[in-house]
């Protein structure tokens, strides 16, 4: 992943995890996925938060 891309959209996350955008938002509502932040009116996820979440999931599996 490009060093410049430190924030991901819901579409980026859906592609990254092979799910729909609706699934990403459902995971957020269920507390199973990191919460997004607002940047200039856009909703984004910090890549570092996602990478930490991924590391925790590997420990659970």
Does the model's pTM come out above 0.85? Answer: no
Contacts 24+ apart (CB under 8 A), 37-46: 39/7, 42/9, 43/9, 43/10, 44/7, 44/8, 44/9, 45/7, 45/8, 45/9, 45/12, 45/13, 46/6, 46/7
Number of structural domains in the chain:
1
Q: Which domain holds residue 53?
A: 7-60
Q: Classify residue 2: in a domain, yes or no.
A: no
Task: Specify whether the CB–CB gap between 25 and 45 falls below 8 A.
Answer: no
Q: Classify residue 36: in a domain, yes or no.
A: yes
pLDDT of 5-59, one tens digit each?
Answer: 799 999 999 999 999 999 999 999 999 999 999 999 999 999 999 999 999 998 7
What are the structure tokens assigned to 42, written together?
A: 């856009």
Q: Classify residue 1: in a domain, yes or no.
A: no
Q: Classify residue 12: in a domain, yes or no.
A: yes
CATH code of the domain in which 36 resides? 1.10.1660
């Amino acid at each position: 992943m490009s060093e410049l891309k430190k924030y991901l959209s819901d579409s980026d996350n859906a592609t990254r995890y092979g799910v729909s955008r609706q699934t990403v938002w459902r995971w957020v509502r269920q507390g199973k996925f990191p919460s997004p932040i607002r940047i200039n009116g856009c909703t984004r996820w910090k890549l570092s938060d996602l990478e930490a979440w991924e590391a925790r999931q590997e420990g659970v599996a």
